[in-house]
């Protein structure tokens, strides 16, 4: 039996996992941003499309089963190494142009498939870390269980999820900024993009090695015991169709996916590149990540003090506000630093919520189903992002902004309804726990 970890040991493992995972993923997002410019529009677009397709399909079917079968640590390590092959495929494609299609398709198929279980494993690892951290808090500095009632334990779980989500968000977004800045500098050095892909491949491999040093966190209890393998493989879909909270959260998750597609397609090509310069695209993209990284821990503190719901609604309102401005101002008017910097800053605040407290909320809502909620997080935002990248080039600006703003508005309504269901479930569980405790003490009642 693995020894019980202290709170500090659990936090250190979450920090190490977050840093290595984030560095690895930052290398992937960097090469995705360079796909079209380095490989051409056709190969670049197809390779990214295949990556997202496999990513979404794996999250929908198979990812939860893989994570539950091999464990979160092995799933993280193997997924990260597969990501390394995706990053390295760009280097191979540049060095051997005759085989560029083969290298890129192989990298996209393998990297996309692995990404589905990599992100699912990240969510599952986070979920178990929250559970074990709360358990360690109850034990205190000894092996004896401290006396805490159900309400105090529930409050402790929401506090820990906010703290660890803020930690992950800060690492994830901070590494994204760091790798982008590094890439900008490397591109100016001799060797250009070829040297950059070498550097990114090395960083991805080193970060994958780092994941080998995290501790495999084992949940206190297993909710999947005795269930057939096919059942675990469809864990994401089971959660989606059996728990109303999950389907109610889909519009909120999809709102962020659509906005990512809007920023990277419409805003980048029709506004920034047209009225500012090509260099403004990565610059404002870095601003989003920088703002989000800077406010991740303050948002974590705010969630502990005021609750996560105001932050979640505020993040969706930020998206809605940005989209209203994009709708009613012409592209020519929008092509101004004085307007775009505040708008991208607002989006950075929303991104911090999406990458941080949004996941803490999912953990609070589905505490025993870390792999399943993580897979649904991928599925919902991935479907929206994929549809956005595919459809937006053929739609008018008004149609695009209507989709984005409408989804944000539905996201607010859906989250409020899901939050009410969650609060009702918590109240019922606390009432049952209180009744069970009184029954045990007095020797009355039907508590087992």
For residue 434, is pLDDT > 90?
no
The predicted-structure confidence for 356-398, as pLDDT tens digits, reads as follows 999 999 989 998 887 788 888 888 888 888 788 778 888 999 9
Note the pTM of the prediction, 2 decimals.
Answer: 0.80
* Main-chain phi, psi angles of 444, to 5 degrees: -120, 170
C-alpha–C-alpha distance, residues 278 and 429, integer Å: 54
Question: How many other CB atoms sit within 10 Å of the CB of residue 252?
Answer: 29
- pLDDT tens track for 144-187: 444 455 666 777 888 888 888 888 889 988 998 888 888 877 77
DSSP letters of 298-365?
A: HHHHHHHHH-SHHHHHHHHHHHHHHHHHHHHS-HHHH--HHHHHHHHHHHHHHHHHHHTHHHHHHHHH
Instruction: Indicate the pLDDT class of residue 139, thresholds 50, 70 and 90.
Output: low
């Amino acid at each position: 039996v693995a020894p019980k970890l202290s709170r500090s040991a659990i936090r250190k493992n979450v920090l190490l996992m977050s840093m290595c995972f984030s560095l690895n993923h930052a290398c992937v997002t960097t090469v995705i941003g360079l796909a079209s410019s380095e490989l051409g529009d056709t190969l670049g677009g197809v390779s990214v499309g295949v990556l997202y397709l496999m990513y979404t399909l794996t999250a929908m079917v198979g990812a939860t089963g893989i994570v539950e079968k091999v464990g979160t640590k092995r799933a993280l390590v193997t997924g990260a190494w597969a990501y390394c092959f995706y990053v390295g495929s760009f280097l191979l494609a540049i060095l051997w142009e005759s085989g560029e299609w083969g290298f890129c398709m192989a990298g996209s198929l393998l990297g996309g498939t692995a990404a589905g279980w990599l992100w699912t494993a990240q969510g599952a690892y986070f979920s178990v870390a929250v559970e074990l951290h709360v358990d360690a808090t109850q034990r205190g500095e000894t092996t004896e269980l401290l006396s805490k009632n159900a309400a105090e334990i529930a409050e402790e779980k929401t506090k820990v999820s906010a703290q660890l989500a803020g930690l992950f968000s800060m690492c994830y977004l901070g590494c994204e900024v760091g790798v982008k800045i590094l890439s900008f500098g490397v591109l100016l050095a001799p060797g250009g993009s070829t040297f950059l892909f070498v550097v990114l491949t090395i960083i991805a491999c080193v970060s994958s090695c780092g994941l080998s040093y995290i501790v495999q966190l084992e949940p206190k209890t297993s909710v999947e015991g005795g269930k057939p393998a096919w059942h675990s493989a469809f864990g994401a879909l089971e959660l989606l169709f059996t728990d109303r909270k999950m389907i109610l959260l889909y519009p909120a998750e999809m709102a962020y996916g659509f906005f990512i597609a809007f920023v990277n397609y419409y805003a980048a090509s029709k506004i920034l590149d047209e009225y500012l310069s090509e260099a403004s695209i990565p610059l404002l993209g870095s601003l989003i990540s920088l703002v989000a990284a800077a406010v991740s821990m303050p948002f974590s503190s705010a969630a502990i003090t005021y609750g996560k719901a105001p932050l979640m609604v505020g993040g969706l309102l930020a998206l809605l506000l940005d989209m209203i401005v994009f709708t009613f101002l012409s592209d020519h008017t929008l092509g101004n630093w004085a307007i775009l910097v505040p708008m991208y800053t607002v989006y950075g605040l929303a991104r911090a919520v999406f990458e941080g407290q949004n996941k803490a909320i999912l953990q609070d809502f589905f505490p025993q189903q870390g792999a399943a909620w993580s897979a649904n997080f991928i599925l919902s935002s991935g479907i929206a992002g994929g549809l956005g990248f595919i459809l937006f080039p053929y739609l008018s600006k008004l149609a695009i902004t209507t989709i984005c703003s409408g989804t944000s508005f539905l996201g607010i309504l859906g989250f409020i309804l899901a939050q009410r269901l969650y609060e009702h479930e918590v109240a019922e569980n606390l009432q049952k726990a209180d009744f069970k405790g009184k029954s045990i003490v007095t020797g009355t009642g039907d508590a087992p």
